Structure 1
Amino acid sequence: MIKSKRWATKNINSLNPFDFAMMILSFFSVIIVLALTFGKLEPETYRILLYIDGGICFVFMSRFFWGLFKARNKAYYWRHHWIDFVASIPAIEALRIARVFQILRVIRLIRTSRSIFLPLLKQKKQATLASLLLAMVLILANASVLILIVESGVDGANIHTAEQAIWWALVTISTVGYGDFYPVSTLGHVIGGIVIISGVSFFGVISGYMASVFVSPDESSERNEAHQEAIKNELENALLRMEANQAKMEQNQIAMLNEIAKLKTDLSNH
């Protein structure tokens, strides 16, 4: 019982990179909810914000059930994270406001932590995955919304619906460029260029991360082998020194015995 309680306290009071990413997504989703509730939006803009909010809800729900699956004390986890589950339910605006409590909870964790970035940097794997997830969601969401707003009402534009904007953002960030949907305005071209650069950087980070996953064990193994070889050499040198010292001690002992025998002989002669 004490062990379980200790684990639960540690789980609640420690700052996790994914918790930090969820806080940023919660803040972003609260802005979306406020825009949906109080903003005067075009129908397609309203729909795309709903899609984005639904995607963020899916991320929140996945995070909640993964944490519940990993938790040793599931009842304790449920009691302290039920607000996350409620805030993850889509299509109910009254419950979406509960995401504010997610932000407040993580801010409390940050304030009680002695350092914000040091614990995050120590968890390199989780920090990298959380950053990639956060970047993916934010780039897709902002790019699709901006291109839909910018291209609306422009002569010759071919991005008119929420689905087309999301598809364009996904294709552009992947740098595939099917060409079925494309911006025609100058501002749209600027947004497209930024998304392409972001996509190249995004997948570059993924490639580097995957390379480190496969390369790091080999480098670690090589370092371990070099360390073991160095230890072996040190042991061999120590053994050689011990043998040399032992041979010298034996020589000294023989010399002392010879001196004692000589002294006995001298005494017997006198």
Structure 2
Amino acid sequence: MKEADHSSDEYKGTGYEVFILLLSALSVFNIIFYLLPDLVPAATEIVGIIDLFISLVFMADFLFRFFTYDSKYHYFFKNWGWADLLSAVPFPIAKIFRLFRIIRIVYVMRKNGVDKIRKEMSKNRAEVALFFILIFIIIIIELSSVLVVQFESVSPKANILTGGDAIWWACVTVTTVGYGDFYPVTVKGRIVGIVLMISGVSVFGTLAGFLSTKLVSRKEDTLPDPEITAKIGEIHSLLKECRGFQDDLSSRLAELENNVPGKEKK
């Protein structure tokens, strides 16, 4: 018996798959990050917080794949679904299974082919851009938080002292809200803040463009197809001509009947 084709179940779209791939690569890098020397404790705390968020995303990804797969048995046991589940567990020994995510996604993308991926990226540019923006936001928040807390740790006047403070500052800065409760006091820390602010303006400008594109495209989808409208008008014209032809035939028939000899005229 021929085995069912599950390729459509495996592949969830180029933008989504690339997002999970890059997020998996970031999580693997974070494992190595703990081994880097000369890091302040707050920097490792930041990585731990980001890693917890990544674990939640991986759990949501596992549930999404599991419930949208036709054969849940095939996904869990034959398509490394068990590895997806274990990689979502926020325990150090389970994080090694995130390598399986990278391998599986690369395999599935190669299976779909470069041409198909390129066409899908061109067709769904807005969705692909959105996923790239999301992974960029995660990376820039983590990187800027680590750098600012590392740079600020040498100053006695620093007010960004913990990992939570650094992530809060990064989120407030990248959204250009700027509460002012936390701020860098060193030159290097302020440079990080400048880069983060510029990145935030670019990112949310792109997001605004994405939303406007989706709204415009949705509005265009509700408009009638010009080709269909033209065909409807053509059919109405033909019906009008038919009615006129029918009326003409009826009048001629009535005239002929009236001229029939011996037939009483009405």
TM-score of the pair, normalised by structure 2? 0.79
Counterpart residue number, 1:171: 172
Give 1:127 shift. 2.2
| Aligned partner of residue 179 in structure 1, secondary structure | coil
**2:25 equivalent to 1:27:** yes
Letter in 2 for 1:23: L
**Who is 2:198 aligned against?**
197
Structure 1 residues 115-156: Cα deviation after superposition (integer angstroms, max 9, x where no partner):
143333334464244223212211211121111112221242
- Change in Cα spacing, 1:123 to 1:172, as seen in structure 2 (3 Å) is same
Q: What's 1:61 paired with? A: 59
Whether the aligned pair in 1 keeps the contact of 2:39 and 2:150 (CA below 8 Å) is no
The code of the aligned residue for 1:122 comes to K
Q: What secondary structure, in the 3-state scheme, does the structure 2 residue paired with 1:97 have?
A: helix
SS for the counterpart of 2:54 is helix
Determine the structure 2 residue equivalent to 1:82. 82
TM-superposed CA distance for 1:222, in Å, is 3.1
What does the per-residue CA deviation read over 1:9-49, in whole Å, with 9 as the maximum and x for residues that have no partner? 33236763212111111111111101214645321111111
Name the structure 2 match of 1:10: 8
Q: Hey, which of these two has a bigger chunk of helix by percent?
A: 1
- The equivalent residue for 1:266 is none
Match of 1:139 in 2: 140
The TM-score with structure 1 as length reference comes to 0.78
In the alignment, the residues of structure 2 paired with residue 236 and residue 199 of structure 1 have an alpha-carbon distance, to the nearest angstrom, of: 55
For 2:218, what is the secondary structure of its paired residue?
Answer: helix
For 1:209 and 1:13, locate their aligned partners in 2 and report how far apart those are by CA, in whole Å.
23
Aligned CA RMSD, in angstroms, stands at 2.9
Alignment-derived partner of residue 101 in structure 1: 100
Gaps of 5+ in 2: 250-266
Please name the residue that 2:211 is paired with.
Answer: 210
State the AA in 2 paired with 1:104. I
**Whole-angstrom CA distance in 1 between matches of 2:73 and 2:14:** 20
Distance 1:93 1:40 in 2: 21
8 A Cα contact 2:87 2:96, kept in partner: yes
Contact 1:14–1:109 under 8 Å retained in 2: no
Residue range with higher mean Cα deviation, 29-38 or 18-27:
29-38
> How many residues are paired up?
243
Partner of 2:231: 231
- Which deviates more from structure 2 when the two are superposed, residues 139-148 or residues 201-210? 201-210
Task: Confirm or deny: 8 A CA contact 2:11 2:109 kept in the other structure.
Answer: no
Contact 1:83 1:98 survives alignment (8 Å): yes
Q: Is the 8 A contact 1:140 1:166 kept in 2?
A: yes
Q: Is the 8 Å Cα contact of residues 140 and 170 (structure 1) preserved in structure 2?
A: yes
In the other structure, the counterpart of 1:257 is: none
Say whether residues 1:41 and 2:39 are aligned partners: yes
One-letter amino acid matched to 1:136:
I
Task: State the shift of 1:172 in Å.
Answer: 0.5
**57-66 vs 148-157, which moves further:** 148-157
Long gaps (5+) in structure 1 = 251-270
**Cα distance, 1:234 vs structure 2:** 3.8
Q: Deviations over 1:169-202 (max 9, x none)?
A: 0100111100011112222222112211221222
Larger Rg: 1
Q: Secondary structure at the match of 1:62?
A: helix
Identity %: 31
Q: Aligned partners of 1:59, 1:200: CA distance in 2, in Å?
A: 25
